[in-house]
Chains A and B, each alone.
Chain A
């Protein structure tokens, strides 16, 4: 500890000042979204920027809610939550089996999962679209959810976590006469819980930001996600920044609040996801 206090060199001081300046720049877009969303048309378009809206207006929000914006938000939350739940379920089952069960073909299956991870997801979007329409799922939330769940990253992550389960505990459970269901729910799950948390957060955020998939799979105005909704506020014949900022705020604020509340879990989740990986 002492050593690090002593090391507060001029370089470090300068660097920290620079870091603080950069933080301001990184927080600025959020500030500009929120203030922009309550600016009047004149203020939004002013050549001299209006740094703070002294006469805030709810006009932009009124226009935003002329559209099914809350529906978009709901669709997004539905898609992200379902993807998260399904991914966590399938991945924790498979991850546990890959780590702790001996079955024929285990090595091969894991290798295939791993190599699929390196491929760009978007490459398969066109056939996926065809497949979804064949299944009559196109333009429904499932068209986004199912491919997300299929993605192998979760299985890989949960396998890494399941490696940590001590064999002795599993053995003890077996001797106690616990069946597979009991063993998994009472013994395995508590141990890999942090991993599931990490995967849940990771899946939620990547699904939230998977704009391309949403763009291809969803069409109807009432089926859009919030990201798509904002993108479509920019039309051929208008580019109303106030309205768009209101949309951006609606999309950003709820998830930011959740993020700030569970910040610790978020960062822990991201870290665990990778360091294990």
Chain B
């Protein structure tokens, strides 16, 4: 370590800086223009009554309005319900599938990976419209099958009944969410240190102990990643709602994202829409942080 860098060293450092930024330039340019700038705009306009014909600073009014907006409250409740149900369900189910599949031979394992990844490849919209048809009250498959096997008697309006609608949405969300976690868990489980597994088998550990003591800590990073991406995706649920229920019946399937869309693009209340977006961002941030904290403490 030199106390005063020589001219040559300083020159080299400047060169390094220059080269570093040259490499960064394209990414920074895109990032600043299409992420940071609009983010700043979203924050600023959330304090305005920005709409088609006005743009005035109104302080915290949008945020105060949110507190009194019953539909917003309901949408927030629904969104959190969706997250709280779908995130554990997706994580546990994909772990279960992966634990069965990872030991299979190459063909079987790739078959199952493909099958469960299929809904993502098919595309959210295509999957959603086919589900809409299957849920249809009068000529949908679901009613027909359930009636035939005697589980229900008479046709149910699955998407039109407050009791069922949100669960139908969660089910579809589930089928379009598990593909990636399964693939991730399969590879994580396959990468578990075999010597540790064998050692504990010699020690007479049963499957259950083997899993929780040896494998679970080693796939913790994968679990954390799955939790975070599933949480973010569930919070942002939109296409399903827009295509299936428009938030109904009686706001039973209204979500924050749909509510933002409704206010910003149906009622042209951009300021209010942005304010809701900011709150959503904060909520997602909090959820992600909790997950990180839990995962960390679990590891230790």
Using a CB–CB distance below 8 Å, which chain A residues touch chain B?
3-4, 7, 12, 15-16, 19, 23, 26-27, 29-30, 32-33, 36, 44-49, 86, 89-91, 93-94, 96-98, 101-104, 106, 109, 112-113, 116, 118-124, 126-128, 130-131, 146-147, 149-152, 154-155, 180, 205, 208-209, 211-212, 215-216, 226-228, 230-231, 234, 241, 244-245, 247-249, 251-252, 255-256, 259-260, 263-264, 266-267, 270-271, 274-275, 277
Sorted nearest first, the 4 A-B pairs with minimum C-beta distance are: A103-B20, A150-B34, A97-B23, A127-B41
The number of inter-chain residue pairs (CB within 8 angstroms) is: 269
The 7 sampled A-B contact pairs (Cβ below 8 Å) are: A23-B116, A93-B24, A120-B236, A122-B260, A127-B45, A147-B38, A271-B184
Size category, B interface: 35 or more
Do B284 and A120 touch across chains, with their CB atoms under 8 A apart? yes
User: Can you list, as one digit per residue, whether each of B233-244 has a CB less than 8 Å from chain A (1) or not (0)?
Assistant: 001101100110
Do B110 and A263 touch across chains, with their CB atoms under 8 A apart? yes
Which residue of chain B lies nearest to A98 when distances are taken between CB atoms in the complex?
B24
Given contacts A90-B26, A126-B264, A180-B19, contact A255 B121 (CB under 8 A): yes
Which residues on the A side are within 8 Å of B247 (C-beta)?
none
Do B33 and A146 touch across chains, with their CB atoms under 8 A apart? yes
Pick the contact of A97 from B24, B111, B125, B238 — CB < 8 Å?
B24
Do A259 and B121 touch across chains, with their CB atoms under 8 A apart? yes
Closest approach, in angstroms, between the C-beta of A37 and any C-beta of chain B?
Answer: 10
Which residues on the A side are within 8 Å of B124 (C-beta)?
209, 211, 227
User: Can you list, as one digit per residue, whether each of B105-141 has a CB less than 8 Å from chain A (1) or not (0)?
Assistant: 0000011111111111111111101110110001101
Which residues on the B side are within 8 Å of A146 (C-beta)?
30, 33-34
Which residues on the B side are within 8 Å of A86 (C-beta)?
30
Do A116 and B31 touch across chains, with their CB atoms under 8 A apart? yes
Complexed CA–CA distance, A4 and B96 (Å): 17
Which residues on the B side are within 8 Å of A151 (C-beta)?
35
Pick the contact of B141 from A32, A106, A116, A264 — CB < 8 Å?
A32
Do A231 and B125 touch across chains, with their CB atoms under 8 A apart? yes
Complexed CA–CA distance, A277 and B221 (Å): 9
